[in-house]
Structure 1
Amino acid sequence: MLQNESVTEFILLGLTEDPEKQKMVFVIFLIFYFGTMVGNLLIIVTIKSSRTLGSPMYFFLFYLSLVDTCFSTSMAPRLIIDALSAKKIISYSECLTQVFALQFFGSMEIFVLVLMAIDRYAAICKPLHYPTIMSQKACIILIVLSWIGSFIHSMAQIILALRLPFCGSNLIDHYCCDMQPLLKLACMDIHVMNLLVVFNCGFICTSSFIILIISYIVILHSLRNHSAEGRKKALSTCTSYVIVVVLFFGPCIFIYSHPATTFPMDKIVTVFYTIGTPFLNPLIYTLRNAEVKNAMRKLWHVGITSKSKR
């Protein structure tokens, strides 16, 4: 592997260079990040504390909230701090760390969403075999494989990034470090590198999205044989999942399936799936899920009762 010798730091241009707009960026994304932390941590604590939320569906929801918390934390704090900084400098090692975090938690989110679709398929289409298919042991194995797969994917991206030579401008026209902005600055023919990035990231996003859409079509088709009440409950759950899938995969496919050229909308699209989706996920799952809302009420009631007894 070739480590870059000529560049020790990069300068991020951020979402905007307008001082007034930077103040707006600071306020807006501070609110978004705070909401993301509160919402996802509340889901994590609720699932861990509740005896009624022990099914595989909530097991995977727990990990989705955990990944969303880490994903947002790897991006949002830097964006918030840089909004008030005159010069947004990021060191070479910090930049590569951010690339790793973005790829690791992004791919982990994809894998968890796929596992959630598998769980819903087994629950709705194979109800008699569901306890066997989605046993506790099977769920743990699937999550461990997801962590391993995400790590391998992220290391592949880092190996590619380490081989990029930088000898000209160190200005990154983005608010974070990612492969496409770095490829644009590289002093080499990036055609092959870009194909590898598109094949790696773009293929994972696109193929997973197609698999998810097909699985939900099959699930919705199978609901015709269920009772009206069962159909309503399954539709509510699946609708939440489909909303999350579209919100996450749409921007993700757009970013990682085009050549290493920067479009004006790239930064906004990246914001949507790295910061916006982790913020929206808790709202989507809690507002449309009666079991989660009831468990949160019980947890709140227990907390208030224990405080009043002290």
Structure 2
Amino acid sequence: MKAVFVTEFGGVDKLQYDDLPVPEPVEGQALVRIHAIGVNFIDIYFRTGLYPAAPPVILGMEAAGVVEAVAPDVKSVKPGDRVAFGTVRGAYAEYAALPAWQLVPVPDEVDFQTAAGAMLQGMTAHYLTHSTYPLKQGDTCLVHAAAGGAGQWIVAAAKLRGARVIGTTSSAAKATVARQAGCDEVINYSEQQFDTEVRRLTEGRGVDVVYDSVGAATWERSLNSIKPRGMMVTFGNASGPVPPMAPLVLNQKGSLYLTRPKLGDYTSTRAELEWRASDILRWLKDGTLKLQIHKVYPLAEAGQAQTDLESRATTGKLILIP
């Protein structure tokens, strides 16, 4: 089978597109023939070694496809089932042998590209808005990179929870996308200091929570944007990791809460995984939410897809096709 993997960490030049053996499903696993793959920043983190893994590392955390075979003990899925996943690595390939409990059924009404592109970012938006800081009517949240793939999901999920959403973007064109996603207010941080603007928009109060996937570049001003006893949720490093910080800073900024969550800890049981994935797929099926696909690439062009994602010039989801 063809796969994209790294044997040493670094830039996109370290990506290898080559043949690997088709894996055999062992106890508890199902073999999935992959039809579509979602591209995410976490793929880049594994490529560079920011997130450790023992090489060779097949990249990719989300995909959709059809079950090809199952281990004898697996009863939850069967050959021919349409499935998707977003919490286990190995998606950049024609086949993947995966724990069967981490596969979720895909309704016939949802195509493979949509299912693949919605799993990781959709469930991330779900846990951020439903569990990490459970938004409620009357809350105000700040969403960075609101025109990006994850940002649009968070905005949409926050609106479903009844929250007021302030988004940040880097251009007027992206601001339009963010408003279409549901933002009540959009700040172009290339033209305005977003923390000052947040205080103005909230009459000096600050927001209840910041959802920040950008990292180092937005860190300090994000803290400045939060109301006393509000929460800072840093869940990505698009501009680089956040530097070390003394806990006293949280006291000085207003007794703030700080968390650095990850999807795996919010989908660690089958019940929780099903809750999040079924909500996302139901919203897609009934049209409550829509996935914006920015571009589709062949798997062999995974390096270009990652380069485009890192450039932050994209709006919406990037998809690979084996």
- TM-score tier, shorter chain, comes to under 0.3
Q: Name the larger-Rg structure.
A: 1
Q: Which has the higher strand share?
A: 2
Between the two structures, name the one with larger relative contact order (CA 8 Å, sep ≥ 6): 1
